[in-house]
Structure 1
Amino acid sequence: MNDTPLATLLFPFERGLIDPPGGGERVLFLGAPGALHLPADFAGDMAAVQGYRPDYLALQRAGLSVTPEPEGEGYDLALVLLGRHRRENEQRLVEALKRTRPGARIAAACAKKDGGGSVRRRMVELLDLEDHASKHHGVVFWLRRPDAIETVLAALDAPESVADGYITAAGGFSDDGIDPGSALLVECLPDNLSGAVADFAAGWGYLSVAASERAPGVKSIDLYEAHHASLEAARRNMAARAPQMPARFFWQDLLGEPVNERYDVILMNPPFHRSRAAEPDMGHAMIAAAAKALKPRGRLFLVANRQLPYEESLQKHFAAQGELRRDTVFKVLWARK
């Protein structure tokens, strides 16, 4: 996630429009990017928040204090990076208001391509902004946290998202309902799935719930997901819709962290976007990870956009492979170790 408007967020500090945090001040950074480099005069005690596992690990390696969800309150400064998902943006702004002390400064930035101007105008309707600036293809605005925030929180704090009967996660994959590719994969799954199953890039758990309902031979399901909020939604969906199924939940970067368990079946709707550009290498790497995690004669079932050349990876890593179905957009592939 390297397309964050970090330079825009730091612009008012670098130009002297906002004083940097001093020693002893507590700073909350919501959406802190993995490639975080702060100005040398930032002296505050930083608490970074990042729910995307690769960025979380990068921040951890850099020696920063980082958590997947915000913790604590009474912060003196909140920095907020905003993206393309409105509900996630509003959640981050709500957290900034809740967790700072009255009078604390909040600075937030959003890329123009993600609607930075409209985000600022929305905040103007709700709060008195100190100022704003446009720089580095983004918009940054800042304000002092008011004493009374109840009205603002009521306007921003959206109810929990439920789509197609499932709890979804703001900012995660397919947060507006069941993905058509995943639905096609479920239609193609055989009824004789059995043993230990893993769901790679599980999102909010649709494939795992479907496998629990469809195949009585499934003994357990492990869900792997890099987006923390999606994994927590998957935990709740499995508890509500498949309470009889033994399930474990792994917040893990499948492209950078090894899988230690071995499975009879792996289900997968692999991601091929880190930002806006398609990156098919992500899917190739996940296929290789699935091959390592399967037992001998274990089976992989995956769905992909028709144009993605995953067959070559299946041929490389598996003894047998083929196609179950395709439509105008997707194809469902299978492979056996």
Structure 2
Amino acid sequence: MNDALPTLLFPFERSLLETPRAGERVIFFGASAGLQLPPDFAADIQVVQGFRPDYLGLERAGFSVAPQAEGEGYDAALLLLGRHRRENEQRLAEALRRVRPHGLILAAGTKRDGAPGFTKRLSELVPLEDRLSKHHGIVFWLRRPARPDEAIFSGPARVTPEGYETAVGGFSDDGADPGSQLLADNLPSDISGSVADFAAGWGYLSLWLAKQPSIAAIDLYEAHHASLEAAKRNLATHAPETACDFFWHDLMSEPVARRYEAIVMNPPFHRSRAAEPDIGRALIGVAANTLAPGGRLFLVANRPLPYETAIASSFKHHGEICRDATYKVLWGRK
């Protein structure tokens, strides 16, 4: 999202807006690791970032960062818009709630991520003070109304036909992913003991596991904070008797302390637009190191992704359970 940062800062550079001063409070949505602000940004900056790797990077850089918005009465809000329209809408609604009356709300995004369309739609709902095109992006700003209509973008959470809540901006936020469904439908019935769900999302696989009486406990690991919070609510509602622990966790950089009899996962393979199979390969290695002797890994992946070699190098026994036109289900045993 920092691709849009030069566009966001342009109004300050050209003195179209006054740079935040010392003693002011600014809430910043959507900044990722590697964020660099000009030295004349003297205000206290509270960054909101719910993706664990970016959260950790921002924290290491010295920013005050939280996974969700907190507090009120900020003098301004800055927003870097991303590809997820509903997440952009949610952040703008949060800015309206958190900024003081008549405080500045400034947002920018790239044209390839749909910022022009988002700006046009917003301009039909609330008056914009100004907008500009710069650096292959769009920047716009407005003043927080004294009594904002907070219902502008505050639609209800999406719910699957089974009654499971998804998470805005997270994986498969429009319902159960077909790959996860294929994995759940083909998991063996003899999984038992303590089980982990890596890259758990809003908990679809864990909800299936919770139906198996032989499973003693389920630990969910997820890097997207809003997805993990949805998973907590889903398991509390639909599997209240199941012992679950929830970890907001970057499996690529943070160690896993516990050991498991089985791990299930639908590993992510995108951090940007291009497929990055190294993510899945790395998670296979993490799973192998986390399983107890004799423990089993079950994963689903797009058919072209080359995970068989990674499984073969980490597991004594391995194979394929099934595949369809798009996905394959693989397994490994230590």
TM-score scaled by length of structure 2: 0.98
Q: Which residue identity lines up with residue 230 of structure 1 in the other structure?
A: S
- Aligned equivalents of 1:8 and 1:192: distance in 2? 54
Distance 2:109 2:160 in 1: 26
In terms of mean alpha carbon deviation, does 4-13 or 287-296 score higher?
4-13
CA distance in 1, matches of 2:27, 2:181: 39
TM-superposed deviation, 1:155:
2.2
Query: Is there any run of 5+ residues in structure 2 with no aligned partner, and where?
Result: none
- 1:295-310 correspondence runs (5 A): 295-310=292-307
The 3-state SS of whatever aligns with 1:192 is coil
How many Å apart are 1:3 and its aligned residue?
5.9
Alpha-carbon distance in 1 for matches of 2:214, 2:242: 11
Deviation at 1:288, TM superposition (A): 0.4
For 2:202, the equivalent position in structure 1 comes to 204
What letter matches 1:54 in structure 2? P
Determine the C-alpha separation between the residues in 1 that align with 2:177 and 2:282: 22
Residue aligning to 2:108: 109
Mapped to 2, the partners of 1:206 and 1:236 lie a distance apart of 12
Q: Which runs of 5+ in 1 are unaligned?
A: none
SS at match of 2:289: helix
Task: Read off the aligned partner of 1:268 and give its amino acid letter.
Answer: M
Matched to 2:56, the amino acid is: L
Q: Which amino acid aligns with 1:233?
A: A
d(CA) in 2 for partners of 1:161, 1:41: 41
Which position in structure 2 is the counterpart of 1:138?
137
Does the Cα contact within 8 Å between 1:91 and 1:157 map onto a contact in 2? yes
SS at match of 2:210: helix
* Aligned residue runs from structure 1 range 11-26, under 5 A: 11-26=10-25
Task: Identify which of 154, 161, 168 aligns with 1:157.
Answer: 154
Q: Tell me which amino acid in the other structure corresponds to 1:122.
A: R
- Deviation of 1:163 after TM superposition, in Å, equals 2.2
Q: Which residue of 2 aligns with 1:47?
A: 46
For 1:268-308, what per-residue CA distance to the aligned partner results, in whole angstroms no more than 9, with x for missing partners?
00000001110000000000000010000000000000000
Q: Residue 8 of structure 1 contacts residue 135 of structure 1 at CA under 8 Å; is this kept in 2?
A: yes
| 2:226 aligned residue | 229
What amino acid is aligned across from residue 198 of structure 1 in structure 2? A
Q: Is the 8 A contact 2:2 2:32 kept in 1?
A: no
Is residue 4–residue 33 contact of structure 1 (8 Å, CA) maintained in 2? Answer: no
Instruction: Report SS of the residue matched to 1:126.
Output: coil
Taking structure 1 as the reference length, what is the TM-score of the superposition?
0.97
Please provide the CA RMSD for this pair.
1.0
Map 1:44-123; keep pairs closer than 5 Å.
44-123=43-122
- C-alpha displacement of 1:130: 1.3
Separation in 2, partners of 1:253, 1:169: 18
TM-fit CA distance, 1:4? 4.2
3-state secondary structure, aligned to 1:158: coil
The answer as to whether partners of 2:87 and 2:169 remain within 8 angstroms in 1 is: yes
Cα offsets for 1:20-60 (capped at 9, x unmatched): 10010000001121111001110000001000000000110
Partner of 2:245: 248
Contact 2:157–2:168 at 8 Å: present in 1 too?
A: no
| Equivalent pair of 1:4/1:83 in contact (CA under 8 Å) | no
Tell me the distance in 1 between the aligned counterparts of 2:210 and 2:295.
18
| Letter of the structure 1 residue corresponding to residue 67 of structure 2 | P
Aligned length: 333
Name which of 175, 185, 209 aligns with 1:187.
185
| Counterpart secondary structure, 2:65 | strand
2:315 corresponds in structure 1 to: 318
Report the more deviating stretch, 165-174 or 131-140. Answer: 131-140
2:271 alignment partner, one of 274, 278, 295: 274
Match of 1:140, as an amino acid? V
